[in-house]
A and B are shown apart, each in its own frame.
Chain A
Amino acid sequence: MTVRRIIVEPRGLASLRLTLTVPLLSVLAALVIGGVFLWITGDNPFTVYGHMVDAAFGSSRGVSETLISATPLILTGLAAALAFKMLVWNIGAEGQFLLGAIVAAGIAIAMGDTIPAVLAAPVVIVAGAVGGALWAAISAFPRVYLGTNEIITTLMLNFIALNLMNYLIFGSSSPWRDPLVSTFPTGRPIPDAASLPRFFNRLDVGIFIAIAVAVFAWYLVNRTRWGFEVRVVGDSPETARYAGIQVPRKILGVFLLSGAFAGLAGALFVAGPVGALDPRSLDLGLGFTGIIVAALARLNALAVIPVAILMGALNNAGPSLQSIGVPPEIVTMLQGAILIFAVGGEFFIANRLRRPELPPDVLATGAAA
């Protein structure tokens, strides 16, 4: 008797076409699942999706709002992509983002309008990145020197960061809180000197900073000695040690840089579209969405840009669905489904399925048996 079945075997190098096709199919599959869900609940999926596309890209305001939503996602996506590439499971971009926002807002408010804008905005941005890096450092040092699990510490620090922000605005009369608003507390407005200049509707220069950072991250990983060492550590820490690479220092560097990217996202968000440390505008899960962005971009820094724009478009389109009576949560569901399909799709990028080839004589005798 002859055995014949489908074989799963690892692919050496997936073609560029395949690595592009699989994420696109993941998005498509998620849309189909979401469509089925919409259909069951009595909505026409085509109408809903049409409305979403229109809201995200149908007008100049739509496009600018989509890019505004995409800006922080590019950076939190990079934060996740860089860390995951080195098997550092920093899922604390959310908290690092918030700390970046808190520090940036704090510095901006402290400086007021005393410093010229050319200086104030850069100082605020850098301060936000440092804030994110320091928040990451709370997890990074124990991870490297004591072997603690960074998944747990970064996750827990997200809640601490969120509650810290809530305390600063809702629970105290801190300098961050706007003293003029008492019924519905919010953050003190960022002074004009530190606000990012806008150039297209509400869109500010933050988008260019985010794209520049993505290019910088790609260059760093692929074209520098440091990046080469990071790639070796991410692939095989034992090999890195053997080759004389200081593994703890590399992990620390990646962890802090990852936190800095997320913190930068928070700084750009408060100094740009939000304009204050406003918990209602900042607590959107942008750090968590960054994980989806990184996964769908297959941890490639340049691919993060278009993927973040896609996710930004979804985020932007969500609220507008209420006008046609569809819950905006459909967007969160779609993003979750995209992540699941993207992760599942990895299997098909890494492996190939085929039927075993049989020599002609075996086919002949096999058929007889």
Chain B
Amino acid sequence: MSDSIARETLGVDLRDIHKQFYGVKANEGVNFQLRPGEVHALLGENGAGKSTLCSILAGLYRPDAGEMVIDGEPVVFKSPKDALAAGIGMVYQHFRLVPNLTVAENLALGHHNLGVLVDQKDLQSDAAELGERYGLPVDATARIWQLSVGEQQRVEILKLLYRDARVLILDEPTAVLTPQESQALFSTMRQLTDEGRSVIFVSHKLHEVKQVSDRVSVMRQGQMVGEIDTADAEPRDLARMMVGRDLELPTREEDESTGEPVLVVRDLRVPGDRGLESVKGVSFEVRAGEVVGVAGVSGNGQRELAYGLVGLRRPTAGSVSLDSVDVTEANVLEHIRQGLAYVPQNRLGMGLSPGLTTEDNLGLKAFREAPYSKGRQLVPAAFKTRGKDLIAQYDIRGVVPGLPIRLLSGGNLQKALLAREVEMQPKILIARSPTRGLDVGATEAVRNSILRERQRGTGILLMSEDLDELLALSDRLIVLYEGEIVGELTARMATAERLGLLMAGQKDGGN
């Protein structure tokens, strides 16, 4: 299967694509052309309709109206299988791999050319060969759950190449990668286009788009607002096209905190899901009015560290104190009462109760006290009035009273979540990837909230995989690698390159 490159390269022409969800127009008369052999960046805020457009091209959704033309032939994809048969495949943000199967087995899964009996050895050598050729090294015999996020992404790309996809759609692939891994991905993308394949690269990081793409299409609010050659595109212009106005993301003001330590962590050890130690003796502190950033590739103990700090998982050793009170053994409620606010990574699955109303969700932390309850009784009127106030004050849009909160957009979900946590007037705020997946406008609102809290004197622990964000907001940075702190940098010393090296486990990268 390795010598099938001779297949025709594809030109893709999407004409006047319309698609609605819940009456919201996700794509409204979108035109998009992809030339053979190019990296075509698709740029836009969240909710601009990029993923919808890609999913239509990949056969996951069917357009309400519009035409898809591949190499001059109109096509209708009834499923992703049809799209793959036509040579179009997509790597989704949430990977679609079977965790308990090996890399080779995942490649074989659903492949139409394979018979009933499959030779594992053949599969594995195929996988290894493909990986080598495209600079996507993975152990073909490893099971998916053993792999890092970056490796899983390589498997997804290999899966498409194994099916000889001519058009590869990568939906925000760099969101889960270190800067170094991103560079490796970019050279793979180059190699693919050199072979005549083409790549649709979805992103909202301007410098990456500038670096790797040949052309850029920009979407805003379901419409295509422009298409230009990357060489002619100024980042500032692209940003304006994306947002529709000039915009500066807020950054921290330069002043060192001299506040008292509000969170003190000493030699903390926290087990992972499988019982193995995931946080291996971590010590640090966060002062009042200070943002401490935690950098690291996902899966290096961030989640367990957060769980250990907020009381969701009992540490096996070490200590945590909040505002000079030892909370190592305390449960979640005691942490909350001690003034700890937590913005989890999983907004809808953990931070908010999807089926409850926005008003109920805004009261989710404070419902035990007045005005939300009176003794053991609930005061429904308080949920309504408090909810209404907070919705207005924090500019949470799209709320219809009585409707479940899950119907809100990602940005508004996060605004609601932050509103509730900040309203507690916490002493310490732990936030994990608070702007992940948010559009620029919502990102601005969330960052402003965090910086306002810093100004108010809250100690903030910001855990994020977005280096730009960490650099923009943090007074100090610590880097987690395999459950240990491998480096600590002041804001002045930190650069993306230094952090990237530390995140890859090279201790000497920092100092």
Contacts and interface: CB of A to CB of B under 8 A. Distances in A.
A, B bound:
yes
A12 interface: yes
B29 A359 contact: yes
A245 B336 CA distance: 11
Interface string A312-353: 000000000000000000000000000000000000000000
A10 interface: yes
Nearest to A362: B65
Interface stretch (A71-79, A92-100, A146-154, A222-230): A222-230
A244 B336 contact: yes
Contacts of B331: 244, 246
Nearest to A243: B364
Instruction: Identify the interface centre among B63, B76, B336, B364: most chain A CB within 10 Å of its CB.
Output: B364
Contacts of A13: 400, 402-404
A71 B22 CA distance: 42
B349 A239 contact: yes
Interface stretch (A1-9, A192-200, A202-210): A1-9
Contacts of B115: none
Given A244-B331, A359-B29, A236 B355 contact: yes
B20 interface: yes
A63 B510 CA distance: 84
Contacts of A306: none
Interface in B404-428: 404, 407
Instruction: Identify the interface centre among A1, A227, A232, A242: most chain B CB within 10 Å of its CB.
Output: A242
Contacts of A236: 349-350, 353-355
**Which range holds the interface residue count of chain A?**
35 or more
Interface in B433-485: none
A231 B357 CA distance: 11
**Which range holds the interface residue count of chain B?**
35 or more
Contact of B64 (A222, A231, A356): A356
Interface string B336-357: 1000001010100111111110
Nearest to B344: A242
A224 B65 contact: no
A54 interface: no
A5 B61 CA distance: 13
B377 A224 contact: yes
A3 B29 CA distance: 14
Interface in A87-113: none
B376 interface: yes
B373 interface: yes
B332 A228 contact: no
Contact of B22 (A9, A228, A238): A9
A275 B243 CA distance: 76
B312 A235 contact: no
Contacts of A5: 62
B344 A223 contact: no
B424 to A, nearest CB: 12
B333 interface: yes
Contact of B378 (A228, A232, A365): A228
A366 interface: yes
Contact of A227 (B16, B344, B378): B378
A222 B74 CA distance: 55
A357 B19 CA distance: 10
A302 to B, nearest CB: 16
Interface of A: 1-5, 7, 9-10, 12-13, 222-228, 231-232, 235-236, 238-246, 356-359, 362, 365-366, 369
Interface of B: 16, 18, 20-22, 29, 62-67, 74, 76, 310-312, 331-333, 335-336, 342, 344, 346, 349-356, 360, 364-365, 367-368, 373, 376-378, 380, 400, 402-404, 407
